[in-house]
Structure formats: structure tokens, C-alpha cells
């Protein structure tokens, strides 16, 4: 993936499959293994990360962009985007500080070309993505699927298994 200086791995699935839920369980397991994890999440919705009435909101509303809000605990940079088209992952990676990370996990950007784990839950009856996406390297599922041998099947309910797969296939140079 262009502009990725470290390994990058996406999680692809229909809305409601549990991408965020799995990531909130997986990230602590990877951190426990000593990895520094960054995350980029694509949203199809408009969102606000600061609140109306706050100084940073008022300054942005007045026309400043980007606005950096910083404390001793965290930093946020809020930039108004003017393009009508969806953002591209490669452009976001240019802006993402990768210098202290071992791995970037990505939720969304499903149509872009980079390695992804597909999530599948049998109860949702969604069509599988891998037949139309050659960048899917594994499927995390809650059932046994009849898939090609090149696709690794993982248990979607076992974040430790998924973390081991990631470490074995994407973190070859990490201790």
C-alpha cells in the first residue's frame, strides 16, 4: 500500500458484522504481545469530535482548518475536507504518524488494494467478499466455510487466534 511505512492490515465486512467489536478485543491482545498499534477507521457519516460551544469548535467554525487540540493526554487534528468524493487510504497514510508504530489496522476502505481479513457471521447471511477481492488473505468466521486453500480460516470469536495469525504473517521482523 502506497505511503505505508509499516505493515498494514484491514478488516472488511458488511455493516453490523462486528468489525469494531472484534478490533476492541484484538488490539489489547496485540498490545500485550508488545506491538504498538495504530488504527484508521473510515466513516461514511459526518461526525464531530469536538463539541459546539467549545473554543476549538468555535475557532474551526470561524474558518480555521486544520485545528490542533492538544493536552498532556492526547492530540487531535481536525481538518475540514472540501472534496465531495470519499477519502483514499493512501492519502490518509501520508498524514498518519507511523514512526512509533509496528502495525496499522484499518476498518473500512474495503474497495482499496491492501491485505484484509474478511469477517463473516453465518447468522447475517451476507455474501462473502473474498471471491471479488483478491486482497483478502483470511476469513474470520463463526462457522466452517468451503473456501480455497490459500485463504486461512480463523475463529471470529478468538482474538488470540487472530493475533497469532497477524504476528506470524505480518510481523515477521518483530520480536
- Beta-carbon contacts of 45 under 8 Å, excluding residues fewer than 6 positions away, are none
Whose cell is 472534496? That residue is 83
Across the range 151-163, mean pLDDT stands at 97
Helix axes 159-170, 19-32, angle to 10 degrees: 60
Q: Residue 174's pLDDT is what? A: 53
Q: Residue 80's pLDDT is what? A: 85
CB of 89 closer than 8 Å to CB of 109: yes
154 confidence band (pLDDT: 50, 70, 90): very high
Is the pTM higher than 0.85? The answer reads yes
Return the number of other C-beta atoms located less than 10 Å from residue 121's C-beta: 18
Whose cell is 502506497? That residue is 2
Q: Residue 44's pLDDT is what? A: 65
Tens of pLDDT, residue by residue over 95-145, are 999 999 999 999 999 999 999 999 999 999 999 999 999 999 999 999 999
Tens of pLDDT, residue by residue over 43-96, are 766 666 778 888 888 888 898 888 888 889 988 888 888 888 889 999 999 999
Domains within the chain, CATH numbers bracketed: 8-44+86-170 (3.40.50.300), 46-84 (no CATH)
Distance CA 77, CA 118 (A): 30
The yes-or-no verdict on residue 26 having pLDDT over 80 is yes
Q: Residue 60's pLDDT is what? A: 87
Instruction: Provide the 8-state DSSP code for 3.
Output: T
Amino acid at each position: 500500500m502506497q505511503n505505508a511505512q509499516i505493515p498494514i492490515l484491514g478488516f472488511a465486512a458488511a455493516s453490523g458484522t462486528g468489525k469494531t467489536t472484534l478490533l476492541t478485543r484484538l488490539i489489547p491482545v496485540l498490545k500485550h504481545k508488545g506491538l504498538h498499534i495504530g488504527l484508521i477507521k473510515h466513516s461514511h457519516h459526518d461526525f464531530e469530535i469536538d463539541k459546539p460551544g467549545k473554543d476549538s469548535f468555535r475557532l474551526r467554525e470561524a474558518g480555521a482548518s486544520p485545528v490542533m487540540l492538544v493536552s498532556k493526554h492526547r492530540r487531535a487534528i481536525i481538518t475540514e475536507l472540501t472534496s465531495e468524493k470519499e477519502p483514499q487510504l493512501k492519502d490518509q497514510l501520508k498524514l498518519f504518524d507511523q514512526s512509533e508504530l509496528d502495525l496499522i489496522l484499518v476498518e473500512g476502505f474495503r474497495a482499496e488494494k491492501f491485505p484484509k481479513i474478511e469477517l463473516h457471521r453465518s447468522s447475517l447471511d451476507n455474501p462473502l467478499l473474498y471471491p471479488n477481492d483478491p486482497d483478502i488473505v483470511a476469513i474470520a468466521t463463526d462457522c466452517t466455510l468451503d473456501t480455497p486453500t490459500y485463504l486461512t480460516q480463523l475463529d471470529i470469536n478468538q482474538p488470540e487466534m487472530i493475533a497469532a495469525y497477524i504476528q506470524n504473517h505480518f510481523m515477521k521482523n518483530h520480536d
